[in-house]
């Protein structure tokens, strides 16, 4: 692949952003003219509400494919453990009956 200067890449990015903004504006105009299209999509296509959302164009940021997990405090883990023990005890009790 040919290497391009950073100026060319910056201009290409600005052009792509401008084109995307134009397409979003055109979609809004079409939805205003034809409201029944708002929820219309094929199974293979994304719904318009997703396409129009501001976050749809951004790639998800993942480090080496790893999921970001929220950290649980020790007390929260203990509470979850107690709840699950109670849940599974009740499940075993109903399974025997």
pTM of the model: 0.40
pLDDT (tens, 9 = 90+) of the chain, 97 residues, equals 567 788 888 999 999 999 988 988 888 888 888 888 777 666 566 666 666 665 555 544 455 556 677 888 999 999 999 999 999 999 999 998 7
DSSP state of 45: S
- Give the domain ranges of the chain: 8-57
Instruction: Tell me if residue 63 falls in helix, strand or coil.
Output: strand
């Amino acid at each position: 692949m040919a290497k391009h200067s950073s100026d060319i890449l910056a201009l290409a990015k600005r052009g792509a952003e401008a084109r995307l903004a134009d397409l979003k504006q055109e979609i809004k105009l079409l939805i205003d003219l034809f409201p029944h299209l708002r929820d219309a999509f094929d199974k293979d296509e994304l719904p318009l509400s997703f396409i129009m959302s501001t976050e749809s164009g951004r790639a998800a940021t993942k480090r080496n494919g790893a999921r970001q997990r929220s950290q649980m405090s020790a007390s929260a883990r203990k509470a979850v453990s107690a709840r699950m023990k109670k849940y599974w005890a009740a499940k075993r009790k109903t399974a025997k009956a």
